[in-house]
Structure formats: structure tokens, C-alpha cells
Amino acid sequence: MVVEDSAVLRSLLSHIITADPRLEVVATMPSAEEAIAAIARIKPDVISMDIRLPGMDGLEATRQIMSHYPTPIVVIADAVGDRSLAISMNALRAGALSVVEKPAGFAHQDHALIAETIRTQLYIMSQVPVIRRRTFGTRLQSAPLTDIDTLRGRPQMAGIVASTGGPPALARLLGVLPADFAVPILVVQHMGAPFMHGFATWLNGIVPQAVSLAAQGEVPLPGHVYVAPGDQHLTVAPDGSLHLGRERPVAGQRPSGSVLFQSLATVLGARAIGVLLTGMGDDGAQGLLSMRRAGAVTITEDETTAVVYGMPASAVKIGASGASLPLDRIGDTVLRAMTAGAPS
């Protein structure tokens, strides 16, 4: 189902989608109200949701759909308007799975790339099972927290990696940590490059820590969160400063969670924390394994709370996870790790 008030963009989106034999446009709706009225009858596998709509906007539409007719939603948004970006990020928090850039006209140099991104995201998200309300599990972690109990020193840096379902999970996790958290936090979130500045700005407004895009050569400070910019790997240099690079993608990703985790393992060894949250695919797993082998604390989000249990499952499968925990328990566990290490 395509929800878009512009007739021109509805037509363009329909053309883009139907070019993929895996996809079929079952309905086009000019307003959220009409989409909601028809969704129970049409039962789409995935919804392409415009964020700025007449009447009810895409954020409220996402809330209502996820509350009453849980369906995978891909937000189609402008990448430049601050208000649109804020609404888009909040729509992700409300249950939308992904945000992609609005399509450009056929003559635009980026039309083919944007169109392919839209098709890919719609197909992938159509395969994601969603539920009305995700209940956080009470199951105990799958492994003892031996990584914490045997720490050889206080952690000096933390890395967090997420993909599908990541923005709300990151907001929830960081919201548990104090504004004066004792070490810098480096974040890799898989998202289109045009949205990364807006994502960091949005996150900065809702979590206690100061959040910004990482900059080349920057010295990371405690209580600050540094987000990898779009299409650049984020690593820690031997001198502790941040490094950005455009080396080849790893596991199809740039920035790559495994690249970040590997650098933490190499530079800091046991004095780091790695957290792998919800996401499709296997990015982050190999890097997290390197961290665990180096003696670092490694945590993965449990299946009971992950929107997509792909990346965490890959890490658990290869023995990279020191503890598999429901999202609401990860923050307290990170805080425990910060106080468990022996004085440096």
C-alpha cells in the first residue's frame, strides 16, 4: 500500500515498485485516514508511508496502524527538512521499521539508486513479522555474565551497533544511562546517509547524553555519543581519537558494526564494551567476537525484544555474545560493567 498525498509521487512510487517482480501495489491512498479505513480489507504486506500528509500526518498514522493493524511500515521522507526528519524519527520510535529518501524524478542523477533503495527496503520489511505491542521478556540471559565478573580493568569506551528497529532501541538504551556516563559511546546505526545528521540531532534531543556525528580526528569525551556519519566507517585510532574512512563495505555495510567493534578490540582490548542490538543480517557479529576474545564485555539484544533478531542471533551463534539480554536490562548491565572493573 502506498500512502502519499501527491498524485505525481503516487504515480512515481507505483512505477518504481512495480519494476520489481517481487512487489505489487495493491492500493494507493492520498491520506492517512483513507489508508486506515481500508487497511483491514486490503491487508497489505508492507506500507510505504509519506510523513507529511493533509490531516493526520505519517507519525500519527504509524501509531494508529501499529496499535490496531500491525503492518510493516517504511517511511518515505524528505532528507533535508528538519521537521520532516523529526517526524520520521518519531515514526520509527512509534513502530515504523525503516526510513528512506523520497524518490527523485527520472532525470535526476540519483533516481536509480534511490528507486532501488525503496524497492529493497519495501521487500525486506515486508518479510518482518510485527506485533501489536512488543512485550519485554522476563527470560534470564542465555549466558552467565562472566565477562563482567572477570573484568581486568574499567572499560574506557563503549560501542553500540543497530540496524532495523535500531533508533527506538538506541533511544531506550541511552535513556537509561546518565548524562555524565563515564566513557564515550560510539554508535553505528544502519540508515541512509542523507538522514544521519537528522538522526543524531533527533537522538540528541531525547537522551541525556550529548549526541553528534563523529568527526575525523575528534577526541571522544565521556558522556558524549558519537554517531557514525553516513557511508563512512567509524573506528578508534591507536591514539584514542576517532577515525572515519571510506574503505570497502563489510557485510554490505558502510559504516560497519564489525569494523567499529574490531577497532575497539584492537585498541582497547578488555577495556571496552560492545552492544549489538536489533537488525537484519549479520553485521557486527565477527567484530563482537573479536571483542569477546580480547576480554571485553559483549552484550546482544535478546530475541524477546529485538524487532529483527538477525544480527544478535548471528553473534550468539558464533559465541560472540557474553550475555543475551532483553533491551530493558542492557542499560543496567552496562552500568554494572562500569563499576565492576578493578581500578586502572
Catalytic residues: 163, 190, 283
CA atoms within 13 A on the CB side of 244: 16
3-state secondary structure 207-219: CCCEEEECCCCCC
Distance CA 104, CA 106 (A): 7
Helix (H/G/I), strand (E/B), else coil: 119: helix
114 φ, ψ (degrees, to nearest 5): -65, -40
Cα-based distances in Å from 257 to 27, 154, 307: 37, 22, 18
In order, the DSSP letters of 196-263 are HHHHHHHHHTTSSSEEEE--TT----TTEEEEPPTT-EEEE-TTS-EEEE-PPPBTTBSS-HHHHHHH
C-alpha cell at 159: 560501542
Beta bridge partners of 226: 186, 212
Query: What residues contact 178, with CB distance under 8 A and at least 6 apart?
Result: 208, 223
